[in-house]
């Protein structure tokens, strides 16, 4: 079941009641609920994959503390990480492998073929495999003790609010919370339901509406050029942000109801003043993972090459980032673009302050707007490769961005959707700007009751009245 | 206790005039100490103390206190 469905709300309420009554066995109720949640997706192999990753990581984690020699310890660590990554590689590349196998079988016997799994064949796997890898790395580095209770460990990986799209939780952040005895906390329930509602709004009201324009252009890139493509890319930037951050809000809200605080994954990413700053604000748990477990080791290994070593480490890290998102050249090019942006900044950064000083441009609102705009343009340019159906579509879009012919019919057919989308984007940006300056939730709680409930009803009605056409009935980041 | 010697290494690398370093100080607390300048701080410490850090040793560092302890162990 998906978050924005009535079935999920009933499920959440039921699990809340049962877990509240379960006392010390709360972990078992949450674990069974998480298993049911995953099984409900209708892909049995996913449950097997989760069980396999859980078992391998649990025993590897304990084994790391019992190894007699450092060599044995290192071998077990490598084995555990590689085994987990193999599960991810096998499931993520399953469609590609079945297509390749069918192509081969077509030469041998056209009547024979293997089933072709759909795009959701690996849903959730990318996230909990990375989480398991981070667990093993932290134990190997001796900054984390292994969890010896199999139930708590299984729940750490499978906890249903974060199972399908993260956040990728560190053991030190989540495991202790799972052990805390439950007591009803009205503030947490209230905050959780509010976060969930905001996430729902972002997903069904904003993201799904922006998708109309995005899909119209990217569904037939060659029929559009210039301004329509640029607008569709801008809309896609916010569609993806609202879709993913909307899911994250719903995940955090669901967990909060159980007094569990998951790690926020977004912090106003389009307010970033550099690409490095963007990655501190976008998919935060994933960027921390690649920073701590890929970039830092590579940077240390190549440190004798100074800036060139750091630049190479960044390129390789973001190549991995692209591959994590999918087995496609579009994702790889997207990752390499970000790697190139960051690698270039290694060389450019020492001169940046001098350039601004020479231009007499002090650190103020004007400079931040310029930096923010430039960063947003760079990020959007990379999104073209991320969103386009094929690499050739992406290159067509990129090479025709300055083509203004044929823009008028687009505005005629999409005028209303563009206008509504623009207003929604402005709303999202305004909330992000305000959220960076004040605690909006505390302000909400401090409002008079009538104003608070007016906002609640506005959220609810906007979610209910989202229109008959639903462009995207699932979350975009399910596919990664 | 963070030594004055290590403190000066960090300040010079990050081009800061002064900062109150404590055992529990993390990189995020210090202006300019980010993932790109992190390796510069470590290399400056290596050069200052004439030591070589292993990657695993560096990945275990959680705060400036850990860095001080690592330097002390390496110097012996």
Nearest to residue A356, comparing CAs of A368, A347, A374?
A368
Contact A294/B at CB under 8 A: no
pLDDT at A8 exceeding the cut of 60: yes
Q: What is the pLDDT of residue A363?
A: 76
Looking at chain B, which residue has its C-alpha nearest residue A347? B36
What is the rounded distance in angstroms from the CA atom of residue B27 to the CA atom of residue B20?
Answer: 13
Are residues A33 and A111 in contact, defined by beta-carbon separation less than 8 angstroms?
Answer: no
A74-120 pLDDT, tens per residue?
A: 999 999 999 999 999 888 877 766 776 777 777 777 677 777 666 55
For residue A122, the 8-state DSSP code is T
Instruction: Assign domain B4-75 to its CATH superfamily.
Output: ACP-like (1.10.1200.10)
Are residues A269 and A281 in contact, defined by beta-carbon separation less than 8 angstroms?
Answer: yes
- CA A101 remoteness from chain centre: 31
User: CA–CA distance from A361 to each of A348, A368, B16 (Å)?
Assistant: 17, 10, 21
Considering only residues 24 to 63 of chain B, which have any Cβ-Cβ distance to chain A shorter than 8 Å? 34-36, 38-39, 42-43, 53, 55-56, 58-60, 62
What is the rounded distance in angstroms from the CA atom of residue A6 to the CA atom of residue A11?
Answer: 9
User: CA–CA distance from A451 to each of A189, A271, A444, A460 (Å)?
Assistant: 20, 28, 9, 14
Nearest CB neighbour to A291, from listed B35, B56, B60: B35
Question: pLDDT truncated to tens, each residue of chain B (76 aa)?
Answer: 899 999 999 999 999 999 999 999 999 899 989 888 899 999 999 999 999 999 999 999 999 999 999 999 999 8
CA torsion, ordered A363, A365, A369, A370, to nearest 10 deg:
-40
pLDDT at A250 exceeding the cut of 50: yes
Q: Quick check: ipTM above 0.95?
A: no
pLDDT at A479 exceeding the cut of 90: no
Q: So where are chain A's domains?
A: 6-183, 188-464
At residue A148, φ and ψ (nearest 5 deg) are: -95, -15
Across residues A297-307, what is the average pLDDT?
Answer: 94
Q: Which of A36-45, A110-119, A403-412, B46-55 has the lowest mean pLDDT?
A: A110-119
Are residues A65 and A93 in contact, defined by beta-carbon separation less than 8 angstroms?
Answer: no
Q: Between chains, do A143 and B60 touch, taking CB under 8 Å as contact? A: yes
- Determine which helix (DSSP H) or strand (DSSP E) holds A461, and give its type and residue range: helix A449-464
What is the rounded distance in angstroms from the CA atom of residue A264 to the CA atom of residue A251?
Answer: 10
Concatenated DSSP letters of A324-350: HH-SSHHHHHHHHHHHHHHHHHHHHHH
Please count the other Cβ atoms lying within 10 Å of the Cβ belonging to residue A6.
Answer: 8
Nearest to residue B45, comparing CAs of B24, B14, B19, B23?
B14
Are residues A298 and A316 in contact, defined by beta-carbon separation less than 8 angstroms?
Answer: yes
pLDDT at A2 exceeding the cut of 50: yes
pLDDT at A340 exceeding the cut of 90: yes
Q: What angle do CA A44, A45, A47 make, to 5 degrees?
A: 70
Across residues A229-237, what is the average pLDDT?
Answer: 94
Minimal C-alpha gap between A332 and chain B (Å):
23
Nearest CB neighbour to B59, from listed A276, A296, A310: A296
- The 3-state DSSP class for residue A361 equals coil
Are residues A146 and A62 in contact, defined by beta-carbon separation less than 8 angstroms?
Answer: yes
Are residues B16 and B24 in contact, defined by beta-carbon separation less than 8 angstroms?
Answer: no
pLDDT at A411 exceeding the cut of 60: yes
Q: What is the pLDDT of residue A240?
A: 96
Q: What is the pLDDT of residue A116?
A: 67
Q: Between chains, do A303 and B39 touch, taking CB under 8 Å as contact? A: yes
Q: Between chains, do A276 and B36 touch, taking CB under 8 Å as contact? A: yes
The pTM for the full model equals 0.90
Across residues A314-336, what is the average pLDDT?
Answer: 92
Are residues B38 and A292 in contact, defined by beta-carbon separation less than 8 angstroms?
Answer: no
A343-391 pLDDT, tens per residue?
A: 999 998 878 878 887 877 777 888 889 999 999 999 999 999 999 999 9
More confident residue, A394 or A401: A394
Q: What is the pLDDT of residue A427?
A: 92
Average per-residue pLDDT for chain A: 89
What is the rounded distance in angstroms from the CA atom of residue A306 to the CA atom of residue A234?
Answer: 36
Q: So where are chain B's domains?
A: 4-75
Looking at chain A, which residue has its C-alpha nearest residue B54? A300
What is the rounded distance in angstroms from the CA atom of residue A285 to the CA atom of residue A273?
Answer: 20
Nearest CB neighbour to B36, from listed A142, A143, A310: A310
Q: What is the pLDDT of residue A473?
A: 57
Both tokens assigned to A103: 């192509």
Q: What is the pLDDT of residue A412?
A: 80
What confidence category does residue A171 fall into, taking pLDDT thresholds of 50, 70 and 90? very high
Q: What is the pLDDT of residue A470?
A: 53
Both tokens assigned to B29: 């607390």
């Amino acid at each position: 079941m998906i978050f924005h469905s009535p079935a999920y709300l009933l499920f959440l309420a039921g699990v809340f009641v049962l877990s509240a009554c379960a006392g010390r066995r709360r972990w078992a109720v949450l674990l069974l609920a998480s298993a049911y949640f995953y099984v409900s997706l209708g892909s049995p192999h996913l449950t097997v994959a989760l069980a396999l990753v859980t078992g391998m990581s649990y025993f590897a984690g304990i084994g790391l503390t019992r190894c007699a020699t450092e060599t044995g310890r290192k071998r077990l660590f490598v084995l555990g990480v590689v085994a987990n990554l193999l599960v991810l590689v096998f499931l993520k590349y399953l469609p590609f492998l079945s297509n390749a196998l069918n192509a081969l079988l077509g030469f041998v016997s056209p009547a024979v073929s293997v089933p072709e799994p759909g795009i959701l064949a690996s849903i959730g796997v990318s996230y909990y495999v990375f989480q398991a890898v981070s667990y093993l790395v932290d134990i190997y580095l001796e900054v984390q003790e292994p969890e010896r209770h199999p139930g708590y460990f299984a729940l750490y990986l499978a906890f249903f609010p974060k199972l399908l799209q993260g956040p990728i939780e560190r053991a030190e952040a989540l495991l202790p919370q799972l052990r805390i005895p439950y007591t009803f906390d009205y503030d947490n329930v209230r905050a959780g339901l509010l976060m969930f509602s905001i996430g729902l709004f972002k997903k069904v009201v904003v993201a799904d509406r922006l998708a109309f324009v995005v899909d119209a252009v990217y569904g037939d890139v060659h029929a559009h050029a210039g301004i329509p493509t640029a607008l569709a890319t801008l809309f896609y930037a916010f569609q993806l942000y609202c879709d993913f951050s909307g899911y994250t809000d719903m995940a955090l809200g669901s967990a909060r109801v159980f007094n569990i605080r998951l790690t926020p994954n977004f912090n106003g990413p389009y307010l970033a003043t550099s690409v490095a700053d963007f990655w501190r604000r976008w998919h935060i748990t994933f960027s921390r993972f690649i920073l701590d477990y890929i970039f830092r080791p590579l940077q240390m290994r190549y440190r004798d090459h100074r800036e060139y070593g750091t630049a190479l480490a960044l390129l390789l890290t973001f190549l991995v980032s692209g591959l994590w998102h999918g087995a496609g050249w579009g994702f790889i090019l997207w990752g390499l673009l970000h790697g190139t942006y960051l690698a270039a900044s290694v060389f450019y950064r020492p001169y940046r302050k001098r350039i601004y000083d020479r231009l007499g441009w002090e650190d103020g609102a004007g400079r931040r707007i310029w930096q923010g705009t430039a960063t947003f343009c760079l990020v959007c340019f990379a999104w073209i490769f991320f969103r386009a159906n094929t690499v050739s579509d992406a290159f067509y879009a990129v090479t025709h961005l300055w083509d203004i012919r044929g823009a008028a019919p687009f505005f005629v057919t999409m005028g209303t959707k563009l206008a509504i989308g623009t207003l929604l984007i402005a709303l999202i940006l305004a909330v992000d700007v305000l959220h960076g300056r004040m605690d909006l939730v505390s302000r909400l709680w401090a409002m008079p009751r009538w104003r608070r409930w007016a906002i609640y009803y506005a959220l609810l009605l906007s979610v209910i009245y989202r229109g008959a056409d639903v462009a995207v009935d699932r979350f975009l980041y399910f596919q990664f | 206790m963070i030594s004055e010697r290590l403190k000066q290494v960090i300040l010079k690398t990050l081009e800061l005039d002064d900062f109150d370093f404590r055992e529990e100080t993390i990189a995020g607390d210090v202006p300019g100490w980010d993932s790109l300048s992190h390796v510069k701080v470590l290399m400056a410490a290596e050069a200052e103390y004439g030591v070589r850090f292993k990657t695993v040793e560096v990945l275990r560092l959680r705060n400036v206190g850990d860095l001080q302890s690592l330097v002390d162990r390496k110097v012996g």
